[in-house]
Amino acid sequence: MSLSFLKHQDVVAGSLFFLTGVVVVAGACQYPLGSAMRMGAGYFPLLLGGFLAILGAAVLLRAFFARQKHLVERLMLKPMLLIGAGVLAFAGLLGSIGLAAASFLLIALSGLAHQESRLRELLPLGLAMALFGAGVFVWGLGLPLPLLPA
């Protein structure tokens, strides 16, 4: 087994899935579980965390027994930063600029992470997704989210 195994994409993904699942299961055990007929607050997170841990273990085993080892050639820092910035901007600005503008900003920043993205394609996509989000969450489900800046 060479050091290249440690850089394998499936090992990284499987490890993250497994560790996240274990943390969620540990957190879910702090709440009442209830039963299948009367689910407590921790029941559903326990199931999801358990499934995520099992999925992570399966991905890790698959990577371990794979015949071909694929290396992660380089760290794609720009896409990681742009997608992370989009998610953080959405979460931080949702209350102040509204769902429509925050969704548009999320789509625009995340879309710029792709090398071949063009601004003239991202603008209509961002507008469509902002309208879709407003239609589903504000008007359809009636969630108390600000739609436009206050």
Same-domain check for residues 92 and 113: yes
For residues 44 and 40, give the distance between their C-alpha atoms in angstroms, rounded to a whole number.
8
**Exposure of 98 by Cβ count < 10 A (0-12 exposed, 13-18 middle, 19+ buried)?**
buried
- Average pLDDT of the segment spanning 22-38: 89
150 three-class SS: coil
Range of the domain at 104: 77-140
Residue at 72 is within a domain: no
- The tens digit of pLDDT for each residue in 87-106 reads 999 999 988 999 999 999 99
Residue 92 lies in a domain: yes
Comparing 90 with 72, the larger pLDDT belongs to: 90
Same domain, 98 and 124: yes
The count of other CB atoms within 10 Å of the CB of residue 43 is 17
DSSP, collapsed to helix, strand or coil, labels residue 31 as coil
Tokens of 121: 């394609």
Which residue among 65, 97, 116 closes a domain? 65
Number of structural domains found in the chain? 2
What's the pTM value of the predicted model, to 2 decimals?
A: 0.55
Which residues, listed in sequence order, are joined to residue 39 by a DSSP beta bridge?
34
> pLDDT band at 2, cuts 50/70/90?
very low
